[in-house]
């Protein structure tokens, strides 16, 4: 079972919204109706980007990976914040709301710019998930698409000390500013063994192309000693990641209303991965077919993860600041010791 601040993620995924979960993570309690309304309003007001950031998005080469764009933009946002070093609770929450609100706009604007399309400004009336899809595609999403992304963001919002959150906490423990902490987290999330796996999963689904080729693909990959992306987890060793089941249901629903191919290939791969090596899919596996059915470009998959996880990162950073002790593990040196230093001229 996985819980966010004591609430089962299955309840949160099915009954709440991303904004409600972000509030829960930041403030520690579920909001009352008026608190949620205020919080949503605060996020909505913070969606637009400063002109300097839009300028940056137009200047970056169009082949820049959107995760590199995101972390560069976060750093730039930091340089524009005159209160960058202020770490009162109020100011930390202000920064967190800014990250949550602006991530979708950075991602959607960059995609529109690199593909030569007009920017679609945020729409006040739309919730967080729907507004992102609207800014990305230039049209309001269907109710199913909106709910699917909303649930996906909830499921990605938090997962205790995963690599990116740990990176954020290490940075926070040095009392680095919050932008630096989020940049550390964003850089860490990008690796293919962490959030980068979802993009790799989509590459795999495209390579396999049809369910009947899945078994041979998985068998050969494992025979070569290679990893099947989207499988395995440091925490969930012999049990299925609770998020995976919910994402599988979501992927199945979207497949029944859209293109079923990606879900069917995913199912065939999962069956073979279990048959040959008892491998279980992780949170990144079914995300790929969900995103594909939401018409999200492959190289934005990791950014969608970041869009959800930024609430968790921010909550962890604030928690670290408020009860801080420097995180500094020791390394165990395993080489030879007590060696004699010889001048350069005496070394052969
Ligand atoms: N494909 C093939 N074999 C795997 C996989 C995989 N995806 N994952 C684990 N294994 C195997 C290992 O090869 C190892 O087998 P062995 O005992 O025969 O050598 C065994 O399972 C144990 O694996 P470890 O690598 O020790 O597991 P670890 O906890 O170190 O790694 C990790 C976890 C990094 C997630 C790993 O499973 C992996 O690389 N998966 C693929 C990448 C991926 O999907 N990452 C996303 C993780 S979820 C997230 O970050 C949100």
Whether 76 shows a pLDDT value over 90: the answer reads yes
Of residues 104, 100, 50, the one with CA closest to residue 77: 50
Ligand 1 within 6 A of CB of 200: no
Q: Is residue 345 part of a domain?
A: no
In a domain, 74, yes or no: yes
* φ and ψ at residue 126, rounded to 5 degrees: -90, 145
Is 304 a domain residue? Answer: yes
234 lines ligand 1 (CB under 6 A): yes
Do the domain assignments include residue 70? yes
Task: Please check whether residue 4 lies inside any domain of the structure.
Answer: no
Indicate whether 107 and 218 sit together in one domain: no
- In terms of Cβ atoms closer than 10 Å to its own Cβ (0-12, 13-18, 19+), residue 236 is middle
How do residues 102-156 score in pLDDT, each as one tens digit? 999 999 999 999 999 999 999 999 999 999 999 999 999 999 999 999 999 999 9
Instruction: Residue 239: count other Cβ atoms within 10 Å of its Cβ.
Output: 9
277: domain CATH number?
A: 1.10.230.10
pLDDT band per the 50, 70, 90 thresholds, residue 258: confident
- The overall average pLDDT reported for the chain is 97
Question: Do 235 and 165 share a structural domain?
Answer: no
Q: Give the tens place of pLDDT for each residue, 163-218.
A: 999 999 999 999 999 999 999 999 999 999 999 999 999 999 999 999 999 999 99
Residue 238 pLDDT > 90: no
Q: Are residues 101 and 221 in the same domain?
A: no
Banded model confidence at residue 233, pLDDT cuts 50, 70, 90: very high
If asked whether residues 153 and 269 sit together in one domain, one would say no
> Nearest residue CA, atom 37 of ligand 1?
232
Range of the domain at 311: 10-190+297-322
232: left (phi over 0), alpha (psi -120 to 50) or beta: left
Same domain, 302 and 284: no
Domain count along the chain: 2
Q: Which of 54-58, 95-99, 217-221, 253-257 has the lowest mean pLDDT?
A: 253-257
Helices marked H in 115-177 — which ranges?
128-137, 143-156, 163-173
User: Which residue is associated with the tokens 């637009």?
Assistant: 48
Kindly state whether residue 343 falls inside one of the protein's structural domains. Answer: no
Question: Is 348 known to be catalytic?
Answer: no
- For the chain, helix (H) and strand (E) counts, in that order, are 16, 2
Residue nearest to atom 28 of ligand 1 (CA): 234
| CA–CA distances in Å: residue 293 to residues 108, 142, 236, 260 | 17, 12, 27, 9
Q: How far apart are CA 188 and CA 166, in angstroms?
A: 9
Cβ of 232 below 6 Å from ligand 1: yes
pLDDT of residue 348: 84
Question: In sequence order, which residues have a C-beta less than 8 Å from that of residue 234 and are 6 or more positions away?
Answer: none
Supply the pLDDT for residue 164: 98
Q: Which residue has the tokens 């995963």?
A: 162
Together in a domain, 36 and 139: yes
On whether both 161 and 307 belong to a single domain, the answer is: yes
Of 156, 159, 233, 316, which is the active-site residue? 233
By the 8 A CB rule, do 167 and 184 touch?
Answer: yes
Q: Residue 253: its pLDDT value, please?
A: 94
Structural domain contains residue 90: yes
Start-to-end CA distance of the chain, whole Å, equals 60
Q: Are residues 303 and 275 in the same domain?
A: no
Exposure of 102 in the CB half-sphere (CA atoms within 13 A): 24
pTM, rounded to two decimals: 0.96
The domain that holds 66 is classified in CATH as 1.10.580.10
Is 156 in the active site? no
The answer to whether residue 22 sits within a structural domain is yes
pLDDT band, residue 293 (cuts 50/70/90): very high
Q: How far apart are CA 83 and CA 284, in angstroms?
A: 36
Q: Is 234 helix (H, G, I), strand (E, B) or coil?
A: coil
User: In angstroms, rounded to a whole number, what is the distance separating the alpha carbons of residues 27 and 159?
Assistant: 17
- Indicate whether 146 and 261 sit together in one domain: no
Q: Is 150 a catalytic residue?
A: no
- One domain for residues 72 and 158: yes
Are residues 144 and 59 both part of a single domain? yes
State the DSSP code for 91.
Answer: H
Residues 49, 139: one domain?
yes
């Amino acid at each position: 079972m996985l819980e966010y601040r004591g609430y089962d993620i299955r309840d949160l995924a099915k009954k709440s919204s991303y904004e409600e979960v972000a509030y829960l993570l930041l403030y520690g309690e579920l909001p009352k109706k008026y608190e949620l309304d205020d919080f949503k309003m605060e996020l909505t007001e913070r969606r637009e980007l400063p002109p300097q950031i839009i300028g940056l998005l137009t200047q970056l080469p169009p082949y820049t990976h959107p995760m590199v764009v995101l972390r560069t933009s976060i750093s730039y946002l930091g340089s524009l914040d005159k209160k960058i070093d202020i770490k009162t609770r109020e100011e930390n929450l202000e920064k967190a709301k800014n990250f949550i609100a602006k991530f979708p706009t950075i991602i959607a604007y960059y995609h529109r710019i690199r593909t030569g399309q007009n920017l679609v400004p945020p729409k006040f009336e739309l919730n967080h998930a729907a507004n992102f899809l609207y800014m990305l595609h230039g049209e309001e999403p269907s109710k199913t698409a909106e709910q699917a992304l909303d649930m996906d963001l909830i499921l990605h919002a938090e997962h205790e000390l995963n690599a990116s959150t740990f990176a954020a906490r290490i940075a926070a423990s040095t009392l680095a500013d919050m932008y630096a902490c989020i940049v550390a987290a964003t850089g860490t999330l990008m690796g293919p063994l962490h959030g980068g796996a979802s993009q790799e999963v989509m590459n795999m689904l495209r390579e396999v192309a049809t369910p009947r080729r899945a078994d041979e693909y998985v068998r050969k990959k494992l025979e070569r000693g290679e990893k099947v992306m989207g499988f395995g987890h440091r925490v969930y060793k012999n049990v299925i990641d609770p998020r995976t089941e919910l994402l599988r249901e979501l992927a199945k629903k979207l497949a029944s209303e859209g293109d079923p191919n990606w879900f069917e290939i995913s199912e065939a791969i999962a069956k073979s991965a279990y048959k040959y090596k008892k491998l279980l899919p992780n949170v990144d596996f079914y995300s790929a077919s969900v995103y594909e059915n939401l018409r999200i470009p492959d190289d934005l998959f990791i950014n969608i993860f970041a869009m959800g996880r930024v609430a968790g990162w921010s909550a962890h950073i604030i928690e670290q600041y408020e009860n801080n002790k420097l995180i500094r593990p020791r390394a165990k040196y395993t080489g030879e010791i007590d060696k004699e230093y010889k001048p350069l001229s005496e070394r052969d």
